[in-house]
Chains A and B, each alone.
Chain A
Amino acid sequence: MAEEKVDVLIIGSGHSGGMAAKILTAKGINCLMLNAGPIADVHKDTEVKPAYTLPYRNFKRPGQLEHVFQSNEFNANTWVDEKEVPYTYDPQKPYNWVRVRLFGGRSLFWSRQSFRLSDYEFKSKSHDGYGDDWPISLADLGPYYARVEAIFRVTGHADGLPQYPDGNFVVDDTPWSGCMQRFRDAGKKMGVPVCKARSARGVNGLASSVNLLLPDAFETGKLKAVPNVVVRELSVDKNTGLINEVHFVDRISHREMSIKARVVVLAAGTLESTRLLLNSKLANSSGVLGHYLTDQIYGAGINCSVPEARNGKSNPALMGGGGLIPRFRNIESKHPKFLRGYALNIFSNAGEMDPRSFAAYGDELQEKLESYHGSGFYAGIMGEVLPRYENQVSIDKEVVDAWNIPALRIDTKYTDNEFEMARDAVDTSIAIAEAAGFEVLAKNYLPNPPGYSIHELGTCRMGDDPKTSVLNKWNQSHDIKNLFVVDASSFVSGGWQNPTMTILALSMRASEHLAEEMRKGNV
């Protein structure tokens, strides 16, 4: 027989849901986790194969996962099938919604770049007058960042830059390779800092909810989990105004079921959490639910070659390693063409060159590839997208998913601010690379479509004013006191930083607050 009522129901099992489970169960609170997809078993579900044994020789199956540029024929079955869970948009404004529903969500596959937001992001309006400040600052989140960095074993180097806050690092004191040092020196002359990147080392090659967060939660005996259930709707007790029931559908059998809960923690990922709230017609007295969708621009950058590494001369002292240029625009001065700023991922490669870097074919191309082998150097943008009210999501009443749940319609686009930022990033990269003596082989000024970064942020933003925000500064709904949304939908602005550390820190902070409120009997 089912339990009468769950203490905390957590929807989603990725970084944000995993952290909520870890914190709440450690406080002795019983939790039930629902996840829309299955549990992946690498031993059962995978096999090492050469591409020639695949039906499409590692071309993607035509028409499949058109918006998931990251997919290929090897990993196609790990992404959400766009036909099974469709979404819609204006063809003139495409959006790449990249989703994983396996247990652990996208925490299974993230790039592990691990950054803190700075007060140039938390207090962005105070700095440049655009948008809104967050209701919290770096000082509020700093202690949580430090704990998250310890759990995820973040490597990094303290650089003392306010726009690139230092953290609780496994210290990276590895020397720079020769080409990286040359790029650093060239950047320094132009006032562009080149720092060590910061990355979650994790444990045994994995930095996921499934190995760093959920095991602790299960160990307490306070966490139960149900995979393969797709939440359809949350419903509210009309007398109390609180959520009292969650309705879901069994992914495999399509059986409809319901469960009662004292508190709901929504951690389904930015757009799925917002889709669920919109479908439930809840938590939107402000009218801003679904608005201020933002992400980060990726795709603009350059491919270079380090001449001294060609013709068999590449070696570990000269080539290898990477770095990061943190935001440097609009810190001390004001750029005439865009607000905010971008970072650049830079790395060198002692391996094969990308054949697309050469306008050649046949024997000529092969000679180029052999001559240039081991001399690659690359730079790519991670740029802030301004949060705008008009960039929004809503429910498309004409389209449903495989479980008859209404689909999301996404209405967003980049503007001149993002395009000018991308142009500046490429021109700056070229200037530094050429000053370092590198040959620029290819360049691209155009960002990939919105969504590509897999950093969808906002649509359920936090704030002090219930009239202009959905959540308070504790990730708690202004309207419904027993509803917490702990994923990146709470972001007020996104900055250039990979949001994972911020998601984890916010979820940790919100979950500790929730536990305390439950202890006091306030929730």
Chain B
Amino acid sequence: MQRRDFVKAMIAATATAKAAAGQQTAPPVVQKLPPAAPKAPGPVPWSRGLLDVKPLPMTPLVPDAVAETNTHFFTDTQMATLRRLGEIFMPPGKGSLKGYPSAIEAAAPEFLDFLIGSSPADRKQMYQSGLDRLETEAKEKFGISFAHASAAQADQLIRPWLRAWMNEHPPTEEHALFINIAHMDFRTATINSQAWADAARAAGKPAPDVDLYWYPVDPDLRDADSRKAAARRGTAVN
């Protein structure tokens, strides 16, 4: 039934019902709806046909596969120290890990520049002071930058601070905390890189750390201002 016909039918039904009830009322005021807007010619709906589109025959790449991360957080000296630390902590794989990438090949230092640069102030400070201390000690002890320290020289600066520790409870001494956290961060950033996954596949093994990823579940539709306000309030935690 067209809308106009429906309105007419409703008006008629109302009038009939009232007449049947014998009510002596004034004639009803007909509520006129605005006329329907004429259909203008225009483009077809943008989504028409979308349901019929088959997935593209492509495997999406992650950016690391084709590009390098621009570093911006650490100073040049700190970055050079970080790269050397990565070489020491995660050298190219040997033995059963032959063919697996080093931290450098997995671009872990550049990833950590991004990660730490996005992190809370205490994590930034821990990394910066830890890297600075390695550089200072290398110069004092060997007369060279940490970036040019041999493996044996670097070991003299790192080993005293290595600890065995358990989840959530890293060492509490400041420099030991940096050394041990940086070590684990390098391992994670390297093993969870595409380069490592590619090496695993080449060796006939599954990629590490494959898991069920949860997308946002029915995210709310608050406007940007509300989100910012909530975020501001959230900083009141503590």
State in angstroms the CA–CA spacing of A446 and B235 once bound together.
Answer: 27
Q: Which residues in window 46-79 of A have CB below 8 A to B?
A: 46-54, 56-59, 62-63, 66-67, 69, 73-78
Q: Which A residue's beta carbon lies closest to that of B116?
A: A62
Bits for B102-123, please: 1 = Cβ < 8 Å to A, else 0: 0000000001000100111001
Contact yes or no, A49 B213, CB < 8 A: yes
Q: Tally of A-B residue pairs with Cβ under 8 A?
A: 182
State in angstroms the CA–CA spacing of A91 and B95 once bound together.
Answer: 47
Contact yes or no, A58 B209, CB < 8 A: yes
State in angstroms the CA–CA spacing of A441 and B221 once bound together.
Answer: 49
Q: Chain A, interface size: which category? A: 35 or more
Contact yes or no, A362 B197, CB < 8 A: no
Q: Which A residue's beta carbon lies closest to that of B179?
A: A361
The answer, yes or no, to whether A86 is at the interface (CB within 8 Å) is yes
The answer, yes or no, to whether A313 is at the interface (CB within 8 Å) is no
Distance (whole angstroms) from the CB of A500 to the closest CB of chain B: 22
State in angstroms the CA–CA spacing of A342 and B96 once bound together.
Answer: 42
Contact yes or no, B162 A84, CB < 8 A: no
Contact of A62 among B64, B123, B238 (CB under 8 A): B123
Contact yes or no, B169 A228, CB < 8 A: no
Give the most central of A52, A74, A399, A446: most B CB within 10 Å: A52
State in angstroms the CA–CA spacing of A361 and B180 once bound together.
Answer: 10
What residues of A have a CB within 8 angstroms of the CB of B153 in the complex? none
What residues of B have a CB within 8 angstroms of the CB of A53 in the complex? 62
Known interface pairs A50-B197, A62-B119; A299-B209 also in contact (CB < 8 Å): no
Contact yes or no, B238 A88, CB < 8 A: yes
Q: Which residues in window 339-360 of A have CB below 8 A to B?
A: 354-360
The answer, yes or no, to whether A226 is at the interface (CB within 8 Å) is no
The answer, yes or no, to whether A523 is at the interface (CB within 8 Å) is no
Contact yes or no, A356 B165, CB < 8 A: yes
What residues of B have a CB within 8 angstroms of the CB of A398 in the complex? 236
The answer, yes or no, to whether A3 is at the interface (CB within 8 Å) is no
Q: Which B residue's beta carbon lies closest to that of A448?
A: B168
Contact of A82 among B188, B197, B237 (CB under 8 A): B237
Known interface pairs A91-B238, A303-B166; A74-B233 also in contact (CB < 8 Å): no
The answer, yes or no, to whether B211 is at the interface (CB within 8 Å) is yes
Contact yes or no, A47 B213, CB < 8 A: yes
Q: Which residues in window 356-371 of A have CB below 8 A to B?
A: 356-363, 366-367, 370
Contact yes or no, A356 B164, CB < 8 A: yes
Q: Which residues in window 23-52 of A have CB below 8 A to B?
A: 37-42, 45-52
Instruction: Enumerate chain A interface residues (CB-CB to B < 8 A).
Output: 37-42, 45-54, 56-59, 62-63, 66-67, 69, 73-78, 82-84, 86-89, 91, 94, 102, 228, 251-254, 299, 301-303, 354-363, 366-367, 370, 396, 398-402, 407, 441-444, 446, 448
- 21 chain-A/chain-B pairs, Cβ below 8 angstroms: A46-B214, A46-B215, A47-B212, A58-B211, A62-B119, A67-B237, A75-B214, A88-B236, A88-B237, A252-B218, A253-B221, A299-B169, A356-B180, A361-B183, A362-B89, A363-B94, A399-B233, A399-B236, A401-B233, A442-B165, A443-B166
Q: Beyond A39-B218, A69-B168, A252-B220: 19 further Cβ-contacts under 8 Å?
A: A41-B217, A42-B212, A47-B213, A51-B210, A52-B193, A52-B194, A57-B111, A58-B192, A74-B212, A83-B231, A358-B164, A359-B164, A360-B162, A361-B158, A370-B95, A402-B220, A407-B233, A441-B164, A442-B165
